[in-house]
């Protein structure tokens, strides 16, 4: 790709005393293909695909098979050109820079027909998953995907400004390390003073400085009095996300004033790796502000193949859905992109902790000097850009490259392995780790994910088994074993990837497909599935516990199959996540103390089957509604072991609570419980998982009259003074394809409006598992969905994301339960 900028005229004018001028080159550019046969206008920031679409030259790139049809776009060379006039006299300025914040990816930059630069790294200031993954299409985009501008300045210019809050344990006081990078173009030293102020902390400090010509770094150390109360930043569900406005003013010689402002958050993070009684190995958990926090959440991938489509509104919608589902963490996965500033600002605001991978994934990378220089520039830039964000709690060198090397994914001969290990250590330890330790002392670093953490270090930076249950984090996938059997899951210290696939809703697929595509075995369905064997795996897993759809109507069968894959995914991830959550406080067979559960994956990059809980555009799958419950701060978890039924109480709270546990049993054939029991008052310890209840299944069935495993279902919840403290959870005593007494439920809804919220008053004629409320393409979410309805009536709220009406909801509303396909 070529960037061709033509300067037509520098307008003369009077002298200026401004510190700097910036002239944006955003907006309309001209785009031309390699042989000049196609020329069109295009927006910057943007990409070639978006420009072609906006001019009506191609369809939506996500429609049907267009990821194949439009491969020619990425195989061609493209030139971006712009003719412009600079509205100031260049000769009046000592330095004039052309700034390109992001170029995708290999390009040559010409200014007035003179080559002034080249780019070869999308993640540096001037996409890995652009070439497809098992959840996404191949759209290697080309274009100027971030801001482009001309900057002019005299005397000196503030290039970068970053800071890190540091807590001094010995002094029991907060300090702020501030770093400012200047380009001093004056031929003489530039003197002056700096004033840093945080008004709400009654803090102001002045420093003298002298800047020598050239690139200069100013380091400031701000002390905050220990007598001032500093409110810390907490993850969602653990406290407030308090921040303080800070200003920094540089008053320099020649009347040059440079002022910056920023939001400062104070928090500490520690990665605790220490011995655990009764278990070999080491713990792996995080303390935030000294408090152990169980990380609950998912893995983030780019929200779109085309970054110019990722709006502020979309980012806020997706991240708000994270906290609405009681999550507190996202892992920014190493095969995507370093997200834009607004992503991290929203995570700061919402209390979402970020596990930040560097952008290296599932590959063996070179270590020639040219590549290392590019990587070092990338890493240094990203550390400087991101380290001020309290939401980022850890840096990770890569995704799965330690495991790929040591488990020999790429069939390296034994004799060659030492060479590859040496290259691995060179890249991730001697370069990336070195830069992190030098540039950011406020958060931990691990070389990979999964990794054994301290054990990996002890073994020379690569472990024999990077997926060990006794150290670090694990990635776990198993599509063959029965996901209802919790014994197949690893009792790991931390589960940073796990999951199951499902298809997105029909209303999402309908926009990018045609009638002949609406079959699970259609060419479209096979093409859209990028995970080998994925469609068969979904049906196999669903078939273990549910009857597969057998309608004579092909469209009905397709819709029912989509629904069933979402039921299967939600139930599988629920079972696995609850297993991890109830294992936080116990050691079983020398394993346990699990302190993190991040399922794969949060969001979709297009409309296709994947592991995501949010569909492309943000619609909640059934899994996301389940996550709202299985990530609740207080949760009862039921499971069986050796024919005994147990209920554990799981608490992420900071305090102990007194409560009772209610256990009810329903038959599938009746809306009235056949038995119910309430425990004595229990004290649920804050930050622990403890056993609250156990009873042999045979005794439970006998106590409840005529119950059998096939005819009954158990539900349970925690409450205090008749107030519900937890979601109502449930436990199936048999596969639902073996359920006896389950009959087709007639479910009706009366919709009313209360302000901006809509109320759905539901009534059912029978017990209904996995009740799914759907309003098609109307953007919004329900207060609950995919639920087990064991009572005759239930009220559910709908929160629209855009203005809508009662009549629109009534026309689009459809309800499905498992009884509709049985």
Q: Which of 329, 383, 661 is nearest to 495 (CA)?
A: 329
Q: Which two tokens stand for residue 123?
A: 């993640």
Pair 115, 121: CB distance under 8 Å: no
User: Catalytic residue at 497?
Assistant: yes
Whole-angstrom Cα distance, residue 509 to residue 552? Answer: 21
State how beta strands 757-764 and 793-800 pair. antiparallel
The single residue of 339, 497, 576, 578 carrying the catalytic annotation is: 497
State how beta strands 445-446 and 392-396 pair. parallel
Whole-angstrom Cα distance, residue 693 to residue 706? Answer: 22
Q: How far is CA 288 from CA 8, 444, 449, 559, in A?
A: 55, 12, 21, 44
Pair 645, 697: CB distance under 8 Å: yes
The single residue of 400, 402, 578, 615 carrying the catalytic annotation is: 400
State how beta strands 793-800 and 780-782 pair. antiparallel
3, HSE (Cβ side, Cα atoms, 13 Å): 26
Q: Which of 688, 677, 745 is nearest to 715 (CA)?
A: 677
Whole-angstrom Cα distance, residue 623 to residue 628? Answer: 9
Q: Which two tokens stand for residue 793?
A: 């009536």
Q: How far is CA 17 from CA 14, 254, 481, in A?
A: 10, 9, 72
Q: Which of 421, 471, 611 is nearest to 531 (CA)?
A: 611
Spatial neighbors of 420 by CB under 8 A, at least 6 apart, are 364, 405, 412
Whole-angstrom Cα distance, residue 261 to residue 259? Answer: 7
Beta bridge partners of 165: 176
User: Catalytic residue at 400?
Assistant: yes
Spatial neighbors of 509 by CB under 8 A, at least 6 apart, are 503, 517, 518, 562, 607
As annotated, the active-site residues are 400, 497
């Amino acid at each position: 790709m070529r960037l061709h900028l033509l300067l037509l005229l520098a307008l003369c004018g009077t002298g200026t005393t401004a510190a700097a001028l910036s002239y944006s080159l955003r907006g309309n550019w001209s785009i031309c293909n390699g042989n000049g046969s196609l020329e069109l206008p295009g927006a910057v920031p943007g990409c070639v695909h978006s420009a072609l679409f906006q001019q009506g030259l191609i369809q939506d790139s996500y429609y049907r098979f267009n990821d194949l049809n439009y491969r020619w776009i990425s195989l061609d060379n493209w030139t971006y050109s712009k003719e412009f006039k600079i509205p100031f006299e260049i000769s009046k300025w000592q330095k004039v820079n052309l700034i390109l914040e992001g170029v995708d990816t290999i390009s040559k930059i010409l200014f007035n027909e003179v080559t002034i630069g080249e780019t070869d790294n999308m993640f540096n200031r001037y996409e890995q998953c652009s070439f497809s993954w098992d959840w996404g299409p191949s759209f290697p985009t080309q274009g100027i995907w971030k801001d482009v501008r001309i900057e002019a300045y005299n005397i000196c210019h503030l290039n970068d400004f970053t800071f890190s809050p540091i807590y001094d344990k010995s002094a029991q006081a907060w300090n702020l390390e501030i770093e400012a990078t200047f380009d001093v173009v004056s031929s003489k030293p530039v003197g002056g003073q700096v004033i840093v102020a945080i008004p709400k902390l009654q803090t102001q400090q002045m420093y003298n400085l002298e800047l020598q010509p050239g690139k200069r770094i100013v380091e400031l150390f701000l002390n905050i009095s220990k007598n001032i109360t500093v409110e810390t930043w907490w993850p969602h569900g653990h406290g407030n996300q308090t921040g303080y406005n800070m200003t920094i003013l540089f008053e320099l010689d020649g009347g040059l004033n440079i002022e910056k402002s920023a939001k400062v958050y104070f928090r500490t993070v520690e990665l605790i790796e220490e011995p655990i009684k009764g278990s070999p190995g080491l713990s792996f958990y995080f303390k935030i502000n000294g408090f152990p926090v169980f990380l609950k959440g998912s893995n983030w991938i780019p929200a779109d193949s085309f970054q110019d489509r990722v709006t502020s509104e979309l980012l806020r919608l997706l991240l708000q859905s994270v906290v609405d589902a009681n999550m507190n963490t996202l892992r920014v996965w190493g095969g995507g992109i370093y997200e834009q500033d607004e992503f991290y600002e929203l995570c700061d605001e919402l209390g979402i902790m970020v596990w930040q991978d560097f952008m290296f994934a599932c590959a063996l990378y070179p270590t020639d000097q040219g590549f290392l220089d590019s990587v070092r520039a990338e890493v240094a830039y990203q550390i400087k850009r991101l380290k001020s964000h309290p939401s980022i709690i850890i840096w990770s060198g890569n995704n799965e490259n330690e495991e790929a090397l040591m488990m020999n994914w790429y069939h390296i001969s034994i004799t060659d392995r030492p060479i590859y290990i040496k290259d691995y250590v060179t890249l991730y330890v001697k370069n990336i780790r070195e830069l992190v330790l030098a540039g950011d002392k406020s958060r931990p670093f691990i070389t990979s994910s999964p990794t054994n953490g301290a054990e990996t270090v002890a073994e020379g930076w690569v472990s024999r088994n990077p997926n060990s249950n006794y150290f670090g984090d694990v990635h776990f996938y198993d599509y063959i074993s029965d996901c209802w059997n919790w014994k197949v899951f690893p009792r790991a210290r931390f589960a940073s990837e796990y999951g199951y696939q499902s298809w997105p809703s029909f209303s999402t697929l309908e926009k990018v497909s045609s009638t002949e595509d609406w079959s699970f075995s259609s060419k479209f369905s096979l093409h859209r599935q990028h995970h080998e064997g994925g469609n068969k795996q979904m049906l196999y897993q669903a078939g273990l516990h549910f009857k597969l759809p057998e309608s004579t109507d092909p469209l009905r069968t397709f819709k029912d199959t989509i629904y069933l894959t979402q039921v299967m995914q939600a139930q599988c991830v629920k079972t696995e996540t609850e297993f991890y959550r109830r294992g936080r406080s116990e050691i079983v067979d020398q394993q346990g103390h699990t302190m993190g559960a991040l399922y794969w994956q949060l969001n979709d990059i297009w409309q296709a089957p994947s592991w995501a809980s949010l569909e492309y555009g943000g619609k909640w799958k059934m899994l996301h509604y389940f996550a709202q419950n299985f990530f609740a701060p207080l949760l009862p978890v039921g499971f069986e072991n050796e024919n005994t039924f147990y209920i554990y109480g799981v608490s992420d709270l900071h305090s102990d609570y007194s409560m009772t546990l209610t256990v009810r049993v329903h038959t599938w054939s009746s809306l009235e419980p056949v038995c119910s029991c309430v425990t004595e008052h229990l004290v649920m310890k804050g930050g622990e998982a403890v056993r609250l209840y156990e009873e042999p299944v045979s005794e439970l069935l006998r106590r409840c009259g005529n119950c059998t495993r096939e005819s009954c279902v158990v539900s349970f919840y925690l409450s205090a003074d008749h107030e519900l403290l937890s979601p109502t959870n449930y436990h199936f005593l048999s596969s639902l394809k073996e359920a006896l007494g389950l009959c087709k439920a007639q479910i009706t809804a009366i919709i009313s409006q209360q302000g901006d919220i809509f109320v759905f008053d539901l009534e059912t004629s029978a017990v209904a598992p996995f009740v799914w409320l759907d309003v098609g393409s109307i953007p919004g979410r329900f207060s609950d969905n995919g639920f087990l309805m064991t009572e005759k009536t239930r009220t559910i709220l709908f929160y629209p994301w855009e203005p809508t009406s009662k009549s629109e909801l009534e026309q689009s509303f459809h309800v499905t339960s498992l009884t509709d396909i049985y």
